């Protein structure tokens, strides 16, 4: 998947890296972040694809989420602290 830009499409990995850097800088500066993230935001935040998150919801292996009903069938939201806990529980390697 690519992200549209004025000069053409950006590779998804590059767009994700830039988004993660922006999120890190916002966090470092203490700018308020939303408590709940939609699937696209959760994808950027965790580095997991939106497709993986969707499959995780349908097959029961992904992070916890809420589904808020609306006229379009429901909006999925992930609580930031749930995403942090999900990632921490799967951490591997030294320095746990």
How distant, in Å, are the alpha carbons of 2, 41, 63, 79, 83 from that of 35?
27, 11, 15, 6, 11
Residues 7 and 23 in one domain: yes
Do 29 and 40 belong together in one domain? no
For residue range 6-52, list pLDDT tens digits in order.
Answer: 666 778 889 889 988 988 888 787 766 789 999 999 999 999 999 99
Band of the pLDDT at 74, cuts 50, 70, 90? confident
- DSSP summary character for residue 27: H
- Above 70 in pLDDT, residue 71? no
**Number of structural domains, the chain?**
2
Q: Are residues 47 and 71 in the same domain?
A: yes
The boundaries of the domain holding residue 19 are 1-33
Average pLDDT of span 57-85 = 90
Evaluate whether 78 touches 67 at the Cβ level (below 8 Å): no
Do 16 and 56 lie in one domain? The reply is: no
72 and 49 in a common domain: yes
């Amino acid at each position: 998947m690519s992200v549209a830009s004025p000069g053409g499409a950006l590779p998804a990995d590059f767009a994700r890296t830039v988004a993660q850097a922006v999120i890190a800088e916002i966090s470092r500066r203490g700018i308020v972040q939303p408590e709940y993230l939609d699937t696209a935001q959760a994808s950027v935040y965790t580095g997991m694809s939106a497709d993986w998150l969707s499959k995780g919801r349908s097959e029961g292996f992904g992070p916890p989420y809420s589904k808020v009903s609306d006229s379009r069938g429901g909006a999925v939201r992930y609580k930031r602290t749930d995403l942090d806990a999900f990632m921490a529980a799967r951490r591997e390697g030294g320095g746990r």
